[in-house]
Structure 1
Amino acid sequence: MEQNKLREETLIASADTDDLKRVFQDRKRTNILNNLEQQTLSFLVTRIPSYISSNILTFLGTVGSVLVLVGFVLANYIDRSYLLIGIFGLALNWFGDSLDGRIAYYRNIPRKWYGFSLDIIMDWVSTVMIGLGYMVYAKNKYELIAFVFVVLYGWAMIISQLRYKITDVYTIDSGLVGPTEIRIILALIFVLEVVFGGLIGYFAGMICITLFFINILDTRKLLKLGDIRDAIERNAKKKAA
């Protein structure tokens, strides 16, 4: 109870400073497609058959990532048009990943920490599979980009978990870009690669560079937030003494 109260006091006390307002600017979903996405999910959540559980949706989301991997493998060994399988895979991944938790709350059977833990683990598994798929498809030096992408995406996931630990506010977006936008960008890259060929390495490199700078900025925000939290806890201890 004391820890939760302290976190609440942290948010209230720090909200008076301009610096922390900037740090907390993404405490809600901030991705550019947020409104359209939420409307779509609100429509879907009431129409999911009762026999489809949250775990099944999580499984479907993971299957979507497997399809992306399969698309890369088939594109490498047969024809690059098989990359289009990855678009369906990304859509299925979005469907399962976005609805698994929401359906549980809609049905009033949430398992907050179980769902949170499972979601993070499966997100990481999905990221690794997509990176592995690209590594199979990529040629020569571009194979390294797959490793860099997985590392950078893992870094972003760590940032989100630490931010949650410090603030009790969970956010998965970096400004206007969230997982949904990343899926759409990947789908567009697949289409361009099928049509023109030989472009995916450049796009993958651009994504990694962008992720790197986003992670640097988010890390600075996180450290600043941690510093503010430390200062508030020290002041709280002094008052208590």
Structure 2
Amino acid sequence: MAQKLFDDRPRTNFLKKHEQAAITSLLGRVPAKITPDAMTGVGLAGSLIVLTAFVLSKYVHQGYLLLAIAGLAINWLGDSLDGRLAYYRGIPRKWYGFSLDIIMDWLSTFFIGFGGILYVGGWGSLFAFSIVVMYGWSMIIALLRFKVADRYQIDSGLMGPTEFRLILAAILILEFFSPGLLSYFVAAIAITLFAVNFIESKKLLTTADFKDKRDKKIRQTENSGPFSKPRE
């Protein structure tokens, strides 16, 4: 069952086995009235909770920052279970689900990133904005890889969305006890994401160039065959 639920999307992230085991266990506990689309809404609600936590911790009390960790957990729950729930119940809609997932992922990225920009302020807000841009870049790479190589992959090596959420949660805990650290962590994450995206972009362009050369060679072979159409 677990293999069938996850064989449509190759995963390479560090927590792959543990994450898939957790998702498989949770799927059977989702009430029948909750649809896959509803789970997508749960994921988006989680990102809005993160945004709210950033705003409240900035303008009301630092303690609200811990609410963002709960928001990240809810975001993971909805984002991880929506598509898998459809497959589990035998009602998948491949292209609808794919399209909705991309749209909701971007909205979630915007809400969480916007909250981070508001919270850190100053020079840190520039790096917080950069993270949103870098994450958008990584999404574009994933979509282009799907088009070029017919392989949709959301992980960059051992790092995936789940690992990113856990790292962010750990950083928020440190920020709670030592306010001001988040700006430096945000800068480090933005620089790291740039490096990762740069490397993945080079790999993508290499694959695209190889495919162009292969297709050109195939066309030349077809045009030079004994049954090829003569040029006028």
1:178 equivalenced with 2:178 (yes/no) = no
Letter in 2 for 1:232: R
* Overall identity of the aligned pairs, in %: 51
TM-score, reference length from structure 2: 0.91
Task: Give aligned pairs, total.
Answer: 215
1:200 equivalenced with 2:182 (yes/no) = yes
Partner of 2:32: 50
Partner of 1:12: none
Q: Deviations over 1:83-111 (max 9, x none)?
A: 11110100000000011001101111111
Partner of 2:91: 109
Partner of 2:226: none
Q: CA RMSD in A?
A: 1.0
1:68 Cα deviation from its structure 2 partner: 0.3
1:30 equivalenced with 2:17 (yes/no) = no
1:126 equivalenced with 2:108 (yes/no) = yes
Is this contact kept in 1: 2:128–2:190, CA < 8 A? no
Letter in 2 for 1:32: F
Aligned to 2:141, which of 155, 159, 176?
Answer: 159
SS of the residue 1:32 aligns to: coil
Task: Give distance in 2, aligned partners of 1:46 and 1:167.
Answer: 34
1:171 Cα deviation from its structure 2 partner: 0.3
Q: 5+ residue gaps in structure 1? A: 1-26
Q: Deviations over 1:107-165 (max 9, x none)?
A: 11111111100100110001111111011111311111221111111000000000000
Is this contact kept in 1: 2:128–2:187, CA < 8 A? no
Task: Give distance in 2, aligned partners of 1:226 and 1:193.
Answer: 42
Q: Give the structure, 1 or 2, with the largest relative contact order (CA under 8 Å, sep 6 or more).
A: 1
Name the larger-Rg structure. 2
1:235 Cα deviation from its structure 2 partner: 1.7
TM-score, reference length from structure 1: 0.87
Aligned to 1:191, which of 173, 176, 179?
Answer: 173
1:82 equivalenced with 2:64 (yes/no) = yes
Aligned to 2:196, which of 176, 196, 214?
Answer: 214
Aligned to 1:63, which of 45, 54, 57?
Answer: 45
Aligned to 2:80, which of 89, 93, 98?
Answer: 98
Partner of 2:119: 137
Task: Give distance in 2, aligned partners of 1:218 and 1:204.
Answer: 21
